[in-house]
Structure 1
Amino acid sequence: MPVTGGTAPQRLIVAITGATGAIYGVRLLQVLRDVPTVETHLLISPAGVMNLQHELEIGRADVEAMADVVHNVRDIGATIASGSFRAHAMVVAPCSMRTLAAVAHGLSDNLITRAADVTLKERRRLVLMVRETPLNLAHLRNMTAVTEMGGIVFPPVPGFYQKPRSIAELVDHTVGRVLDLVDLPDIGQTLAPSWPGLNGIYGKAGESGN
């Protein structure tokens, strides 16, 4: 959605790859769809399209309609392939181990990995919602490499301390935390409010020793 009043929007690149958990990328787009201060740029890998169909029973066009700008993963000459394009941050949700490996080793072989490489080289925030279990040594080393380059490895591990009542609430909590990480806390806090501490929940009754 374009911003009025001459204020440039914060551009957020969202990529959906072939790991399980397509709901995270879709929910992120849903939340940002009506936020006029954020401009979303969407990329979906071929395997990501398959997962959207399998896990959520929706097609590429349905998801692309949620974004402000859509890019083809093969269009290596797109705007987001250049550091001169002022993107605020990038989130890969979910991030396959293949995409993680390509980012870790600087293999800009498609627009997703090129945009991630640009995000890192420009010292902007890159969040990879990596999804795999169990993890082998290659996975762990690739996560270390990305972390050392300044990226954030964010496995979508559910938090149960908020006492979620549904899968949707689990997803929203994770998406809210991601929005916090890309400096959109006003939006993130609506999905994942700050932890008040046990004293904030139970009062002094919670102070019963170690």
Structure 2
Amino acid sequence: MSELQDSIDRLTRDHERPLAQGKTVTVPGLLAQLDAAVTEQKRGGSAGNEIAIPVSPGAMRIQAEVADVVRSESLEQIGTHAGRVADLLKRWPEEGGDLDHLEHVALDLCDKIEALVDPGPPRRPLRERCPACGQRWVLDEDGHRSECLTAGVFKEDGTLKLPADYDVECLNCSAHWAGKDLAGVLKRLPKSLLNTGAGIQMTAV
């Protein structure tokens, strides 16, 4: 199977997602997961009366971006942008002109959606300025403020890493420290910031 076809299958079909200890779980296609993140069905007062209520402005924005990219690329590559996003994607492997380009586009779409619906373990905010850029706060696209500097202290299965496996990154300047590089950064930060003992709240950012 080509990488393009693999990415399109992940976007449009149920597929296996790896878990810890070599296990897997079947999950819906990424487009379906994105749809689920955008709206939920809330039952009204009368039977069968349901109203779709937006629950994630960020997901709505990504859904619009994905649709725009797919329709724009489809118009250029297969000569039409009409139809459902999933149906257009399925035509790319057979009808696309530049398959290498579409392979990168499809992979980027997978990464964008997965970052929203499956963001991975929470990162611990470090309440200090970034040693590289000097900033402490960063604003997201919705204007929400969060700490620039975060530490990865959890494994994919939710258990704690060994301190030697921690990493620190800045959301503002994208600086990243791990392994030997991490030691120098930690010397400039209070040791209590990486305390993962009982009573320390782990807050995702």
Give the TM-score, by structure 1 length: 0.25
Larger relative contact order (Cα-Cα within 8 Å, sequence gap ≥ 6): 1
| Max Rg structure | 2
